[in-house]
Structure formats: structure tokens, C-alpha cells
Structure 1
């Protein structure tokens, strides 16, 4: 039985012996660094009532980070920051005409100028989930702050574009219920699969969309079984609908190996195991991954093929990798699994937040892991 039913959010940090006062102090310190520290923050306020999160490695604002920031804020009860990020998103990123009407431009300059006019579906699904939680935690406001209406409209666009003369392409494949890497393309990204979100969309989306998301939750759990390698637990950044790694090089590179995007897959499986208890076999993947990486951090050094073969491409986000493996430890149940999980959670606990140009992605994944492992990444 998951937390959706029993309201029990597992605090693995406390389970392994870290005092609660130390956990709360760490969360407070991380929030201060991430949102407010003049040198290390990711979040920046602009104007009277807006704010954005900056991808420090690319000096832009992305729907990934903006929606992540909103999810962090609703979990931490930071309504002012939530509303600022949401207003910036609607003001500069939202597209109200053309093929991608109803979606958000995945990248903007920090002054709000769009760098692209295409969306990235992981942003839309995080926006929608954060908005539903905001509605339930704080209540709906007016206009763009009528959170539940905004969430429903995002999800409606995601699955109905292209129907009944509506221009554009949906973000989910309507036949197999799998989320797409981008609309109109014939492959997916395993780390975009969030069955724990889809279970809730099936309750709170427009009534005509609920059955679709219930099927999407089951489809994603089944998909993750095939996408995570049977021995290593690793998944590819991009993959085919049957779970096999992307087998062709795209115009912007090859993404069929275990690299930055793919780190999130284990974290997502871990969170799903806490929120819901529906295991189709996917919950064993993080355990296999921890076993593959071994008993020290030396293996967290490079890109891998999903069968575990290392490549000569160095890891770009080492803290992100450690953080997501640690969050994946939420699946651990048996004494043997807990012994393995404890090592990874302690490694995570002893890592400082990343500094410097590449800190954005690592520290986003760190923040989510800290919330999840302390029992503070919750359903509202």
C-alpha cells in the first residue's frame, strides 16, 4: 500500500540513523543555497512578481527547470516563489498560437526571449502536477492562478492536439499511451515516464481524459520494465517504444546510452514506489543499478552503454547521478537491499551541493532526492 492510501511517506534518512533535526537543517540549508544564495542560487526574481530558474550551464531558462522549481516550491510551501515562476512561464514561455499552441517553449533567454518554439514534454507533465498540488494545498486563485484549470488545460492539449481539426501533435502516443520525447516523433525518453503522476492525472484531469492517464500509468510501469536493462538496471536517454535503446544517431547526437537524462529514471521509480505500490517489475531496477555501480563511487565517472560497457565520455553530472541512485533506494525492502541502499544514501548525504557553471542540473536532482529521502516529496 502506497502513501496515496496510507499517507506514510518513507523517511529513509531517518531510517539509516540520521537525526531529524539534522535532516531539517540540511533541507533549510539546501533551500537557502538553491533559491537565495547570491553566488550559488538557481532561482532569480525579476520585476515585481516574476522569477525564473537559470540553467547555469547554458544561461537560459528551460521548462524542465521552471516546472522543477514549481514542484519544489509547492512541496516546501513557498507560494510566492511558485507564483513568480508560474507567471514568468505563462508570460514568456507559453505559446498561444501556431502548431504548438497550448504548450510551452522549452528554452528562453533569461530576458524572456524564446530560443525555440518547440516544447519538451517533461516540462508539461511537471507543470501540470505542480499546479494540481498548488490547487489542493493553497486553493485556486483567479486568472492564471486558477491552478487546477491551468493544469487541466495543459493535459488536454497534451493528448488532444491533432484531433478534430486542432493543429499540432500530442505529447503522448495515443495508441500505446507512452509519452514522447517531443510531439510528433516516434520514440520516447524513459526518464519522462512518471506513472505516479499519471495515477493522479487519472483522478484530477478533465473527466474525458482520466481513462487515458490511467492506461498511461500502467503502460509506463510496463515500459520501464523493458527499458531498464535486465542485469544493470540502466536505461538509455532515448529509447524505442519497445524499450530498446535509440539505435540511430539524430541530428543533435547519439542518445542511446546511459547518460544525463537517464539518471532520472531510477529516481522516478523510487518515488513511484513510495506514492503507489503498483509494481510491474520496474521496482527492481534501482537495486540492480546499485549493484552494478558497486561499493564505491569510482564507477560514477563516465557514460555507459545500458549493458554496463563504459565509454570514454566522462560524466557531466556526477552529483545528479549519485542523487538519483540514492532516491531510487526508496524501493529497498529486504535487509540485503537496505544494506546496499544505506551505502548510497550515506554517499548522497555526504555530498555537498555542486558549485560552478554546471550546478543547475545536479542541484535540481539533489533537491528532489533530499525531499524524497526525507519523506517530504508528497501528494497534495
Structure 2
């Protein structure tokens, strides 16, 4: 195949929707409308809610709580679409209510809170921390740093330092295993979640973290890409929700199958290839995932073993799944890339109580396929 250097080197982001013949004005309008529906629209679509004069939160509409995952996702969406007002509201809410100042998880963010800010948990979820850090770096580069807590760059570097060095004083645990450089599902466990693996973020952490932490992130890039190749099934391309460090599915809690968390792997593979073009395996994996779903209708998506055997249990988030499969088209070279994008384009955002996760993945896909999910560099 022709070498793909990636947007990191070229500065060029593919507008795959335009390449496939969609009108550019219609693409821009669809992206703007998707943001509006999720952040400003009616109660059947919105997932962002202002709180007081200067804060706001992303609501998990299925569980009626606020999660570090959603808050970090909202911040990434806001910085990509130049909405500093929303970004700062989300970050202030996060720092006011989710940031833990004491205990074994001090320096991390509580993964779940009520909408009034009271905590439902005192443990973190590492996918939130890595998205917070990346969104904060981009905010620093796009808008410049302000006074704490809006000194975005320092906040990102401090958070990454905590993620790597927590526990060195005997209190708490790091979010990345110091030996194998793999992200953990939660800090005090010895297994991973393939959908947490974001080597395209780690490439940038290796540039912008504190200098003493950068060698770790260089190793984490290679470790994560290698881990994805052993955790995704060699035939179907499907990844389990939880997997051991050797890549085999972790079924101890029933999460060794392809289900909601796993959908994000296809999106991450697509974006990693778009930004860095570093691994042709990404193309093979994207092709396999899209081939597996090519003969399946969204209304019949299910839980699957990674080998592709279906369960009776229906997918909880079919719109999210078809969205991530479309985002994989940034890497795909097979016959189903266009059809996956067409299916996404023909599907509206989800309405109803379970819309939160689906529509987060939907907006990320709109950003990525329109060439608007970008790396924001420091001003030279």
C-alpha cells in the first residue's frame, strides 16, 4: 500500500466524507448540528448541562450520573470545535467535584458523581485521565494558559506525572504499569482494557509531558500498539472489554467479550492511523472489523465473543458501534470502508435515555471523518 505519513507530519487531515462525495457545506452543517443537539438542543438529544454561572457537566443519561469519561470527552469535543466557554465550564466542574485531594487516589478524578457534585465513587477510571490530559494540552496550545485551574499545560503535565508516579511513596497505585508500560483498567489491578489504549495520545505526551517522563511515553507508544495487535482477534479484529497483559480476554467479571467498551478500539485505530500512519496493522484490523459487521443490521448488533460468536444479549449502544466502525475507515483499505461511512451518515444521533455513550462516539466520528479531529501544537 502507499505509505501514509499521517497528519502529525503533513498537517493534512482527510475529510473522508468529502472524499466519498458528500457536499462540504452539508458536512459542516451536519457537524455544527451534531454539536448543537448534544450541547444546546432539546431534552431528547442533549447530554451537556450548564451548572450555575460558570460550570457545566456531561450527563450519562442512562445512569443519571456524571462520569470522568464523559467530562473528558466533552472537553475534547469543545477544544476541537473552539468552544473555550464550554471547555472551561466542564473543567471547573471537574476540578471542583471530581478531583481527589486526599486518600490513596489523591491527584486522580473520581469516576462518578451525582449532578450536584457529590461523589458516587472515590476511585478513578484511567480513560478519563488520559483524555483530560490530551484535551488540556490542546487547550493550552490553542488558547493559551490562564490562572489556575485554567493553566491547562501545567495541569496536564501534573496529571500525567501523577498517573506514572503514584504509589512510589507507598500510597496508591500508578495508572500505567511501570514494567510493561500498559495502561490499567483501574490503578489497583493487573489487567488492561484495550479501548483505553491511545498510542496517538502517548506520541504527544512524549513531546509535552515533563522531560523526565517523556522516555516512559516513548516506550508506552510501542507497548500499546503491540498490545492492540495481540488483544484484537486475528480473524474478526474484535477486542474484549477487559484483557490480561498477554492480550487474552479477561472473563473473571464477564467482560472478556466484545461489548460496549470494545467499540472504541476501532475508533482509536482509525485516529491513530490518521494522525501518525505508523502501523499498517491498523489497516488490516479496520478491514477485519468492518468485514465482521458488513452483513449485520444495527438493530441486530449483539454482544459477541472476540471470535465472533453471538449472544442473545443485544448491543446497548448500536449507534455508538456503527459510529466507531465508520471511524475505522480512516485506516481501512477494504471493500466495506465506504459502506460503513454511508451507514453512519444515514443514521441520526440517538434519542432517549441511553443516548449519552452513543452520541459521544457519534460526535467524535463526525469530527474525525470531516477532518476536524486535530492535533493542536504549541504556537511557535
Task: Identify the TM-score tier after normalising by the shorter chain.
Answer: over 0.9
The aligned residue for residue 332 of structure 1 is: 332
2:127 is matched with: 122
Which of 329, 341, 347 is the equivalent residue of 1:345? 341
Equivalent residue for 2:285?
285
**What's the offset of the Cα at 1:167?**
1.5
Kept in 2: contact 1:188–1:239 (CA 8 A) = yes
Match of 1:5 among 2, 6, 9: 9
Give the deviation of 1:330 after TM superposition.
0.6
Instruction: Name 2:150's counterpart in structure 1.
Output: 145
**Distance in structure 2 (CA, Å) of the matches to 1:66 and 1:75:** 14
8 Å Cα contact 2:298-2:319 kept in structure 1: no
* 1:332 CA drift (Å): 2.4
**8 Å CA contact 1:222, 1:282 repeated in 2:** no
C-alpha distance in 2, partners of 1:285/1:6? Answer: 24
Shift of 1:296: 4.8
In the other structure, the counterpart of 1:18 is: 22
Check conservation: 2:298, 2:322, Cα contact below 8 A. no
Q: Is the 8 A contact 1:52 1:88 kept in 2?
A: yes
Please give the alpha-carbon distance, in whole angstroms, between the structure 1 residues aligned to 2:299 and 2:228.
Answer: 23
Whether the aligned pair in 2 keeps the contact of 1:222 and 1:280 (CA below 8 Å) is no
Check if 1:109 corresponds to 2:114.
yes
Structure 1 unaligned regions, length at least 5: none
Matches of 1:2 and 1:298, distance apart in 2: 31
Distance 1:207 1:222 in 2: 24
Deviation, structure 1 residue 151:
0.2
Say if 2:181 and 2:223, in contact at 8 Å, map to a contact too. yes
> Secondary structure, in 3 states, of the residue corresponding to 1:143?
coil
Match of 1:73, SS?
A: helix
Change beyond 3 A, Cα 1:166–1:84? farther
Match of 1:167 in 2: 171
By how many angstroms is 1:298 displaced? 5.6
Q: CA deviation at 1:166?
A: 5.1
| Structure 1 residues 180 and 10: alpha-carbon distance in aligned structure 2, compared to 1, 3 A threshold | same
Tell me how far apart the structure 2 counterparts of residues 312 and 7 of structure 1 sit (CA, whole Å): 45
Following superposition, the deviation at residue 313 of structure 1 comes to 1.0
- 1:69-90 deviation digits (Å, cap 9, x = unpaired): 0000000000000000000000
**Does residue 186 in structure 1 map to residue 182 in structure 2?**
no
Cα distance in 1 for partners of 2:104, 2:281 equals 38
| Residue 219 (structure 1) aligns with | 223
2 CA distance for matches of 1:73 and 1:356? 23
- Tell me if structure 1 keeps the 8 A contact 2:62–2:354: yes
Partner of 1:205: 209
What RMSD in Å do the two structures reach over aligned CA positions? 1.1
Does the 8 Å contact 1:202/1:212 carry over to 2? yes
Deviation readout 1:310-333 (Å, 9 max, x if unpaired): 011111000000000000111024
How high is the TM-score relative to the length of structure 1?
0.96
Q: CA deviation at 1:295?
A: 3.9
Alignment CA distance shift 1:298-1:49 (3 Å): closer
Figure out how many residues of one structure are paired with residues of the other and give that number. 371
Unaligned runs of 5+ in 2: none
Contact between 1:195 and 1:221, CA under 8 Å: does it hold in 2?
yes
Partner of 2:235: 231
Task: Describe how 1:17-96 pairs up with structure 2 within 5 A.
Answer: 17-39=21-43, 40-96=45-101
TM-score by length of 2: 0.96
